[in-house]
Amino acid sequence: MNMFKTIDFMGTLLDVKLKRHELISNNLANVDTPGYKRYDISFEELLKSKLNKSSIPLATTHDKHIDTKKQLMDVKPVIYREENHSFRNDNNNVDIDKEMVEMVKNTLSYNIISEQISKNLKLLQTAISEGRK
């Protein structure tokens, strides 16, 4: 992938992380709502399964060949509701400890991705400014 496609893909990852943050916040806000079922978003798992399916690396030697990397860009996040049973009497399946851990993991992941985007943009800026000399 070239740099622009990489930055675009990382932007998509940031969008997914932002949506996951919203879902986790909503889950935490409804921790005491009777019958509430937690929501989450699936994206990384879909990417992993897409990558695992292509066990043979394909080389493209012509513009008309199938681009496997483009197919990765077509993976879309899926929001789902966990319908699993709750051990609570009010049928709420939100575990506040699990949600807080997920929030921290999501925040760290968001920060790492945004830092990578920043480094790629700085690299591009350096290439442009050095190219003028």
Q: What type of residue sits at position 82?
A: E
| Local confidence band at 67 (pLDDT 50, 70, 90 cut-offs) | low
Kindly report the backbone phi and psi dihedral angles of residue 114, in degrees, each rounded to the nearest multiple of 5, phi listed first.
Answer: -65, -35
> Which amino acid, residue 17?
K
Tell me the pTM.
0.78
- C-beta pairs of 29-34 under 8 Å, 24+ apart in sequence: 30/92, 30/94, 31/92, 31/94, 31/96, 31/99, 32/92, 33/92, 34/90, 34/91, 34/92
* Extents of the domains making up the chain: 3-131
| Mean confidence (pLDDT) of the chain | 85
Amino acid at 78: V
pLDDT of 72: 65
pLDDT value for 88: 84
